[in-house]
Structures are given as structure tokens and as C-alpha cells.
Amino acid sequence: MIDVIITTYNRVDFLKRTIESFIDKNKMIPYRLFVADDFSNDGTAEYLCGLRNQGIANILLSPKRNGVVYGFNSLWNWVDYLDTWQEESDYMCYFQDDLVSVKNEWLLKAIEAYEFLRNKEKIGFFSGCDAPEHPIDHEVIWNDDILLMKKSTSATNLIAEKKFWRSIGFVPRLNPDGTERGFPHKNKGSHIDVYLTGYYSLARSNPSCSAENCLREQNKMVMVLPSLEHLGHEDKVSTWRKSK
């Protein structure tokens, strides 16, 4: 069992492709799906309510724009709460709303690779989405798949054991300088990836930007099994951005 959480805003077409491809390509692993919509006005809420009515997903509809940090924290809190009352899953997978699965059973394969290599390679997060701007430290061949070992990656897709997520905790709403995390300005991203992984340039110069127990402090690697196509470049609208 794995819990899958997705944050979204005003990209219903991407979101549909993301969810449909995830379901189609991951039939061998049981999961609970959670989606948080950040007050979209493009039909996202109606689409998500349809999924909820079919029993496909658990849905959180925000009453106003709050940003990706709010959506991520709300879903992570929901998942953590359910773990105290229901059967607890070992893993949580975070998705942005613009990823299409291109490999069958990639999530199960990624978990199996992690469980086999986690101690040898000292893996913290693992992912199905390669962020080429983050350099490869080394490669590992496992069951005919090439696994990329990195010291950093984007937050487009992050998977980890629940105990690792809990070691990091919820993402603070504000950066150390008082600016709001999750609503980026040009060339600075949302800072959620900086906080979660702690190996980014800003975290190197200012460790307070990252979590105390993140990869940076635990000296963990990120394992990537390239399995997802990132669609975000096709559209300038982003989950991370404030409305103009």
C-alpha cells in the first residue's frame, strides 16, 4: 500500500492525463489517492468531485488560493491522520499535476529498487522523474534498469518511507526572510523542494532554508528511476504560481 498525494491548480487537462496515466500504469500496487485543488476555476473541482463520487480519490477543495505548501501540508496531515485509524501504508508519493507515467508498474519497481539498495546507497527520497538540471553522482544497474543516484532533485515527484517524511515534518509557510514559500517569483521556484531535500544552492548558503532532518543533514542520496514525462513545459500556467 502506498499513499499518493497530488497538488493542482488550473491545469485540469494536465491533471486528467496525470491521474489517468498513473492508474493505467500502476495496476499491481494498492494505493490511496489524495488530490488538493488550490481554488481552480477551469473545471478542476468538477472533475475531482467526479473521481470522489466514483471512489477513485480523496479530494480537498481549497476555498481560496493558498499555494502549494498549503495543499501539500494539508494532504500530508490527512494521510498521517488516517494512518492512526486505518491500515498504515509504508510509503508516500508526492506528485505535481503535470506528470505522465511512461513505464508499466514503475512505482512498484521503484519501491523494490529502493528496498534492495536503500542501505548500500544510503537513499532518502526516490523518484520516477529525472530533473536533468540536477547532476548525476553515479549510476546503478538494477534488474536491467538504470538508476540515477543524485544529491538533489526537484520536488516534481518525491517518494519516501513515512518515517522519512515524518523526520522532515510539515513545510513552513514562510521562508527565513519572511517571504511566502509556495508562491515563487521569477527564477526562484517555490522553495518547497529546497526545504524537503535540503541539497539545493540556497540551502548550501543558508541551511535554515531546509529542514533540520532533511537529506542534507542525513547525508542521503536521491534515487531516480526515469519513468515519468514532465508536461509542464507545454503550458506557462503552474501549480506554484499566483494568479495574475
The domain limits of the chain are 2-234
More confident residue, 133 or 124: 124
pLDDT score, position 207: 79
pLDDT score, position 199: 81
Give buried/exposed letters for 28-67 (b at 16+ CB in 10 A, else e): eeebbbbbbbbebeeebbebbeebeeeeebbbbebeeebb
Low-confidence winner among 16-25, 46-55, 83-92, 233-242 (lowest mean pLDDT):
233-242
| 105-118 average pLDDT score | 97
Residue percentage of the chain with pLDDT more than 70: 92
Q: Is the pLDDT of residue 126 over 50?
A: yes
Q: Is the pLDDT of residue 157 over 70?
A: yes
* Backbone phi and psi for residue 173, each to the nearest 5 degrees, phi listed first: -70, -25
Low-confidence winner among 21-25, 183-187, 197-201 (lowest mean pLDDT):
183-187
Sort residue 20 into left (φ over 0), alpha (ψ -120 to 50) or beta: alpha
CATH architecture of the domain with residue range 2-234:
Alpha-Beta Complex (3.90)
| 140-144 average pLDDT score | 95
Q: Is the pLDDT of residue 138 over 60?
A: yes
For 70-98, write each residue's pLDDT tens digit: 999 999 999 999 998 887 889 999 999 99
**Residue 50 pLDDT grade (very low, low, confident, very high; cuts 50, 70, 90):** very high
Nearest CA to 195 among 169, 161, 156, 224?
169
* Backbone phi and psi for residue 46, each to the nearest 5 degrees, phi listed first: -65, -40
pLDDT score, position 100: 96
pLDDT score, position 200: 78
pLDDT score, position 113: 98
Distance CA 170, CA 174 (A): 12
pLDDT score, position 243: 41
| 204-222 average pLDDT score | 86
